[in-house]
Amino acid sequence: MSTQDVVTIAVAVLVPVVTAAAGVVSLLIQDRRVRRSRDGRRRLVFEDATRQVAFAAEWRRAKQLTAATPEALQVPTAVANGWLDEASARVTAAEQPNLGEDPHVSFSRLLLLYRFRRRSAKAIRIDFYAVLGLMSFTVLSIVFDEATRENTASWVAILVLSGMIALLLRFWAVSADSTVAR
């Protein structure tokens, strides 16, 4: 076995591995972005609730100063209590964990084996699987076919190109399906 054969086989094996690693890294980055945006929304809810509580307290205090009788304070107290309950409900809703999200990188997420909601995302996923099949065929052709020893550069180019297309289709399918959630 010559050095070029070893390099060809190594490239044939490494391209799918690198493609899978890039997919895992992209999932990790996506999970981090989702977590940070969820934390940002939660922080905004807490800040808004804090401002609402401060306003309700100041408003009730001002009503106490201007009220002539204790009966006149009943309506402002009820309104302030309503605002406080609303702020409390917002904070409680922001603290609830999202049960529908999968926080870890899994084989099914990497290979898009979960259920899509949009038809266009499903069609892109089919193209993704077709390109993965082409990559598998190319790897097997490089490793087992003696005739490819002369056309090694073209097989490797097909393999690298199909790996990049597979990653692009994967990102596209996920973004096409996530537009429903927005």
DSSP codes of every residue in 62-110: HHHHH-SSGGGGHHHHHHHHHHHHHHHHHHHHHHS--TT---S--HHHH
Distance (Å, whole) CA 139 – CA 166: 15
Helices (H) and strands (E) in the chain, counts: 5, 0
Report the C-alpha gap between 177 and 107 in whole angstroms. Answer: 18
Tokens representing residue 147 in the block = 């005739």
Summarize the confidence of residues 120-133 as an average pLDDT. 93
pTM: 0.53
Spatial neighbors of 139 by CB under 8 A, at least 6 apart, are 12, 13, 15, 16, 159
119 by DSSP, 3-state: which? helix
For the segment 111-133, the average pLDDT, to the nearest whole number, is: 90
Question: Which of 55-64, 102-111, 159-168 shows the lowest per-residue confidence on average (mean pLDDT)?
Answer: 102-111
- Check whether 103 has a pLDDT greater than 80: no
**Between 99 and 50, the higher pLDDT residue:** 50
Whether pLDDT at 101 is above 70 = no
**Could you tell me if residue 98 is left (phi over 0), alpha (psi between -120 and 50 degrees) or otherwise beta?**
beta
Q: What pLDDT shows up at residue 100?
A: 53
> Is 110 a residue whose pLDDT tops 80?
no
Least confident of 86-90, 92-96, 159-163: 92-96
pLDDT (0 to 100) of residue 1: 64
Q: What is the mean pLDDT of residues 20-30?
A: 80
Which 8-state DSSP code applies to residue 182? Answer: -
Structure confidence at residue 140 as a pLDDT band (50, 70, 90): confident
Best CA proximity match to 166, nearest among 124, 137, 138: 124
Give the residue-averaged pLDDT of 150-178: 85
The pLDDT score that the predictor gives to residue 165 is 93
Distance CA 98, CA 92 (A): 13
pLDDT band at 149 (very low <50, low <70, confident <90, very high): low
Give yes or no for a contact between 173 and 179, defined as CB atoms under 8 angstroms apart: no
Could you tell me what percentage of the chain is helix, strand and coil, using 3-state DSSP and rounding each to the nearest 5?
A: 85, 0, 15
- The per-residue pLDDT of the chain, averaged, comes to 81
